[in-house]
Chains A and B, each alone.
Chain A
């Protein structure tokens, strides 16, 4: 019985792994093909099945004037916008979340939970509803088609995620921990950054990861709020598609698009299991 269970378990794991990894292998193999190898017969293995070429990759760095699609600049734009917006969202969101978790707010009928909901409610609406106000807003303040404008919009989109995750996290940090810090001579700000924050690293990492993922994969707002001056990676990748679909360079761009997320996931994984609050309150 146990053997059967083990057998089924590993079969499932192997199948699942293949299911997840296969598209990546397919994309890697395709990115080294040319028009001929993609459109003739089904081919898998370089050198054996087809002659590998770097053309798909070269297109990505060649300037448009020489028949390429330069994604280097959009790539760094995306990194800049995602990182800046995520960082600011995490800082502001964490502060807001701590306040919502520890202090009681009363304004008319509004209570802490209502404020938390207000943050999340911005993610409930379909993006298309937000696009017009965002467009008008950015054009009014003259930030349409600029990196700064994108950062502003992404902060609006990402901060609710940070607030939501961190409120939940802080609610699970015992209040007695802050109180002990106060008794031990910390003022409320010191209690926050000397005691609460160092114990919130797992929460910060989860929140940061979600912000980075949601910021990085956004196509919709990047598409609507930029034209020529500034372009982000997802928009540029889509722009690769012309009258004939260049599967090879699409594959290459897809691979380097997911690369940062994979790296982030590997770096973050170590911290997620580490550092818990078990010692604070038993």
Chain B
């Protein structure tokens, strides 16, 4: 009794939006679709909703062929990245709209709507016009509308992306709470995002999507610890994982005249060329370290992102405090060698600091 997709292909104008996508979503679970913009996330969700028909492949829910059921009978709910509400209705009428459409009893409707408004924290806003609300509030209305519906499949398409930083943080926290308590055990929640941090925080099953193709599937922790290839490593980290072309030679790991003692998990690697990966957060300022030149320093929130350069190698370091740097200034940094990944020339993960590469 799951939502099952088999070899879904959607290819308008000879460009893959979905390239042979298969999945098996179980009820009561949260799934996150992680991918960059234009990776096919929205197509993925719209296909499940029924707004798009795949060119080939099967989609079934509860054992029924989903492709035979039109959108309006599928009992799905969707929240868009744009804040889509009915502008001619007030908040209460917006939330009640899908319930009225299903001709439920008045009492049931009232309880469900009140509950949904309470969950998203919009009690007291019932008679407000949509235009009078802030972006965050508008998105809450959209969320309340999809929650009140108690749909079997709840789709959220980058619901936070159009909000400002502060609000995004706040709503993300709330989402976590809402999903943990508001989600009934027979519903499937699918959440798409470009932000790896959201994926980690929501901590569901992750599907990494790129150019319509599923690159990796697994729990959030698994994706974080063992990104299957360079693409996944790039997509699942923000800032993207630093990739350094180098050589492993006996006990050393060498790139740009820097040689680092190899970490224990690299012991069994053959001596040859690799793409070494290291997260921005595993690079620290250290007076004993290697000298790099600053190309750009950005302050985001309480952190500083340093874009550094040495020879042909560029790395991004995440410094966990706000510091002011001058461009072209030289700084010394140290890599946490225990957190190095090794990818082969084809870009596949060979060795990870978290071990356990069972594919």
Contact = CB atoms under 8 A, between A and B. Distances in A.
A184 interface: yes
Interface in B101-118: 101-102
Interface in B129-156: 129-131, 133, 135, 138, 145, 149
A197 B129 CA distance: 18
B70 to A, nearest CB: 7
Interface string A88-106: 0000000000000000000
Nearest to B77: A183
Given A182-B51, A280-B86, A187 B162 contact: no
A279 B129 contact: yes
A225 to B, nearest CB: 41
A176 interface: yes
Given A182-B51, A183-B71, A183-B77, A281 B82 contact: yes
A275 interface: yes
Which of A177, A198, A276, A282 is the most central at the interface, judged by chain B CB atoms within 10 Å of its CB? A282
Given A279-B129, A279-B138, A282-B82, A182 B87 contact: no
Contacts of A179: 46, 49, 51, 71, 78, 84
Contacts of B82: 174, 176, 281-282
A181 B102 CA distance: 12
Contacts of A177: 84, 86
Contacts of B138: 279, 282
B347 interface: no
Contact of A279 (B50, B85, B162): B85
A183 B51 contact: yes
B166 interface: no
Contacts of A183: 49, 51, 71-72, 74, 76-78, 98
A180 B95 CA distance: 12
Contact of A180 (B84, B129, B130, B131): B84
B290 to A, nearest CB: 47
A277 interface: yes
A78 B285 CA distance: 85
A195 to B, nearest CB: 6
Contacts of B84: 174, 176-177, 179-180, 280-281
Interface string A137-153: 00000000000000000
Contacts of B77: 183-184
Contacts of A184: 72, 77, 97-98, 101, 145, 149
Among B70, B76, B80, find the residue whose CB has the most chain A CB atoms closer than 10 A: B80
Given A279-B131, A282-B83, A185 B78 contact: no
B98 A279 contact: no
Contacts of B102: 185
Contacts of A190: 72, 101
A276 B130 CA distance: 11
A181 B87 CA distance: 12
A257 interface: no
Interface in B50-101: 50-51, 70-74, 76-78, 80, 82-88, 97-98, 101
Interface string A169-202: 0000010110111111111001000010011000
A278 interface: yes
Nearest to B51: A179
Given A180-B80, A282-B138, A187 B72 contact: yes
B87 A176 contact: no
Interface string A259-282: 000000000000000011111111
A134 B88 CA distance: 42
Nearest to A277: B87
B174 to A, nearest CB: 19
A199 B88 contact: yes
A195 B86 contact: yes
Contact of A275 (B46, B80, B88, B162): B88
Contact of B101 (A186, A276, A280): A186
Interface in A195-218: 195, 198-199
Contacts of A198: 88
Nearest to B102: A185
Contacts of B50: 182
Contacts of B130: 279-280
Contacts of B131: 276, 278-279
A278 B130 CA distance: 9
A199 B133 CA distance: 18
Nearest to A201: B88
B83 to A, nearest CB: 5
A195 B101 CA distance: 12
Q: Which of A181, A183, A198 has the most CB of B within 10 A?
A: A183
A184 B148 CA distance: 11
Of A184, A186, A281, chain B has the most CB atoms within 10 Å of the CB of: A184
Q: Which 9 A-B pairs have the closest CB atoms?
A: A279-B130, A185-B101, A279-B87, A184-B98, A279-B131, A198-B88, A182-B71, A280-B87, A176-B84
17 contacts: A174-B84, A176-B80, A179-B46, A180-B80, A182-B51, A183-B49, A183-B71, A184-B97, A185-B72, A187-B70, A199-B88, A276-B87, A278-B87, A279-B87, A279-B130, A279-B133, A280-B86
Interface of B: 46, 49-51, 70-74, 76-78, 80, 82-88, 97-98, 101-102, 129-131, 133, 135, 138, 145, 149, 162
Interface of A: 174, 176-177, 179-187, 190, 195, 198-199, 275-282
Given A183-B51, A276-B87, 20 more contacts: A177-B84, A177-B86, A179-B78, A179-B84, A180-B78, A180-B86, A182-B71, A183-B77, A183-B78, A184-B98, A185-B73, A195-B86, A198-B88, A275-B88, A278-B131, A279-B87, A279-B130, A279-B133, A279-B138, A282-B82
